Amino acid sequence: MTSEKKQNVVIVGGGAGGLILANSLARREEFSVTLINDTPYHYYLPQLLQIAFRGDDSQLKRELADLVKKDVKLIIDSVTSVDLNNRTVTTSSGKTFSYDIVAIAPGLSIDHAAVKGNEKLVSLYGDFHSTPENAWRAFNTISSMKKGRLVVAVADPGHRCPPSPYEGVLLADEAFRARGIRDQIEITIAVPYPRAYPAETFNEVIEPVLKERGINIETFFTVDTVDLDNKKMTSLEGGELPFDAAIVVPIHKGPKINILPEDIKNEDGFIKADKLTNRVGNFDDAFAIGDASAASNARTGVTAHLQAKVVEKRLLGFDARNTGRTNCPTEIGMELGTFVISDFGHPSVKLPPKSVFFIMKRFFADTYWDVLKHPEFWDPIFDAYFENTSPERLWKLFP
Ligand SMILES: Cc1cc2nc3c(=O)[nH]c(=O)nc-3n(C[C@H](O)[C@H](O)[C@H](O)COP(=O)(O)OP(=O)(O)OC[C@H]3O[C@@H](n4cnc5c(N)ncnc54)[C@H](O)[C@@H]3O)c2cc1C
């Protein structure tokens, strides 16, 4: 095939979704692939939890140049706009790239200011959903706390990685136990839902664990304001929670990229895309994958990965569709874990906490960089894994 006939694919964002797509397409001669990322690094966001509660940043980031296949044209530049009608992508350095196909995968943006008082709060106590700097602040909070009330409050039900706030409080519990001060500290998780975890079936798994570890559960609490001077937060439902230290899982918004036509983004700035095909609006040549998409049923790396594989297959002419499969390894402290596994047709499976699931979480983290770089090796392994751990199958094993 001559280079003139290659489809010119431009991918915006080299995170969990964009990088997999770039490396998957680059090994096929039908495509020429340009990947544009605003930093020279790829960040492994689950490591923010490990920083915040264990002070471990060993897996945080790698140079993108080491992760892309040689046929990917990597551009380090910030995309400012994507014009879907004129098929162009423009960057902050003034370059314009035209495309045959565009995949938009720049993740999301965090809006600390959307909760009154949270900017001040995060600058003091940190969080584990925004930046490594804030995760280190959270680590200082956890490791310097000796007594009092720690509150972790979820402001946005659409936050990245649904089980991550629960992992947060359980890892805090573990850290305080390790320092022998657990009985001096009251831990509360505050959530907007009627129960600890939004999905009823997974709640049956996680709520008993929270209770067993002595973690308070404050339901129907959607954080509205944080009053740092008086050390209390209020909720939209009219509740009030005092704290000595607090972390708010902040409001998530769509990517800060101008996308035309303007109505292609929803009111929170996420890109309107089809939940089955990832196609943006009525554009046959534009896809949105990962956290940036309004269609992501769960904002997870696995979702982004699977969406990227669907886009790859569609570009190869197959009628591939997302199944909505989630696969969130969930660490619950004490070297135990579980998984949030569901799809469009099945609610989260009730996987009981086991050490093997903790080991599997570590395995996924350890293989992460290789998975990004070598999809041709890992695709068949994941296909077999997803088939054998399908929600349909697991529901029969764990009714
Ligand atoms: C604490 C925590 C724990 C998590 N745990 C898990 C887990 O266990 N399992 C799991 O599957 N998921 C987990 N996730 C979620 C997962 O990390 C995200 O869902 C995933 O990274 C989304 O991938 P993405 O490609 O959409 O976006 P990202 O990975 O955020 O990548 C977006 C990329 O686009 C780049 N970019 C942004 N703006 C621009 C621009 N204007 N121009 C060019 N480039 C740009 C960014 O630099 C970045 O490289 C966790 C997240 C957090 C915060």
Regarding the beta carbon of 333 and ligand 1, being less than 6 Å apart is answered no
The strand pair at 245-249 and 148-154 is best described as: parallel
Q: What is the pLDDT of residues 109-131, one digit of tens each?
A: 999 999 999 999 999 999 999 99
String of DSSP letters for 73-104 = EEEE--EEEEETTTTEEEETTS-EEE-SEEEE
Q: Which residue among 96, 160, 248, 309 is best mutated to probe the pocket of ligand 1, counting the most ligand atoms within 8 A of its Cβ?
A: 160
Burial letters for 368-381: b for 16+ Cβ neighbours within 10 Å, e otherwise?
Answer: beebbbebeebeee
Q: Give the mean pLDDT of 294-303.
A: 91
The CA 47 to ligand 1 mean position distance, Å, reads 11
The CA 38 to ligand 1 mean position distance, Å, reads 13
The rounded radius of gyration (Å) of the Cα atoms in the chain is: 21
Regarding the beta carbon of 161 and ligand 1, being less than 6 Å apart is answered yes
Answer yes or no: is pLDDT of 7 > 60: yes
Regarding the beta carbon of 36 and ligand 1, being less than 6 Å apart is answered yes
Regarding the beta carbon of 165 and ligand 1, being less than 6 Å apart is answered no
Answer yes or no: is pLDDT of 1 > 80: no
Q: How confident is the model at residue 20 (pLDDT cuts 50, 70, 90)?
A: very high
Q: What is the pLDDT of residues 156-192, one digit of tens each?
A: 999 999 999 999 999 999 999 999 999 999 999 999 9
Assign domain 110-252 to a CATH class.
Answer: alpha beta
Q: How confident is the model at residue 4 (pLDDT cuts 50, 70, 90)?
A: low
The CA 107 to ligand 1 mean position distance, Å, reads 5
* pLDDT value of residue 5: 83
Q: What is the pLDDT of residues 331-389, one digit of tens each?
A: 999 999 999 999 999 999 999 999 999 999 999 999 999 999 999 999 999 999 999 99
Q: Which atom of ligand 1 is nearest to the CA of 300?
A: 19
In whole angstroms, give the CA distance from residue 120 to residue 340. Answer: 33
| Spatial contact of 50 and 366, defined as CB atoms under 8 Å apart | no
The three-state secondary structure class of 218 is: strand
Provide the CA 398 distance to its chain's centre, in angstroms. 26
Strand ranges, E, within 174-250:
185-190, 216-218, 223-227, 232-235, 240-242, 245-249
Regarding the beta carbon of 254 and ligand 1, being less than 6 Å apart is answered no
Regarding the beta carbon of 203 and ligand 1, being less than 6 Å apart is answered no
The CA 132 to ligand 1 mean position distance, Å, reads 13
Report the CATH superfamily, name and number, of domain 1-47+60-108+254-321: FAD/NAD(P)-binding domain (3.50.50.60)
| Spatial contact of 25 and 379, defined as CB atoms under 8 Å apart | no
Angle of CA points 266, 272, 273, to nearest 5°: 165
Spans of all domains in the chain: 1-47+60-108+254-321, 110-252, 323-399
Q: Which atom of ligand 1 is nearest to the CA of 108?
A: 30
Q: Give the mean pLDDT of 12-31.
A: 97
Q: Which atom of ligand 1 is nearest to the CA of 327?
A: 11
In whole angstroms, give the CA distance from residue 183 to residue 148. Answer: 10
In whole angstroms, give the CA distance from residue 311 to residue 305. Answer: 10
Q: What is the pLDDT of residues 64-108, one digit of tens each?
A: 999 999 999 999 999 999 999 999 999 999 999 999 999 999 999
In whole angstroms, give the CA distance from residue 175 to residue 195. Answer: 25
* pLDDT value of residue 297: 79
Q: Give the pTM.
A: 0.96
Q: What is the mean pLDDT of the chain?
A: 96
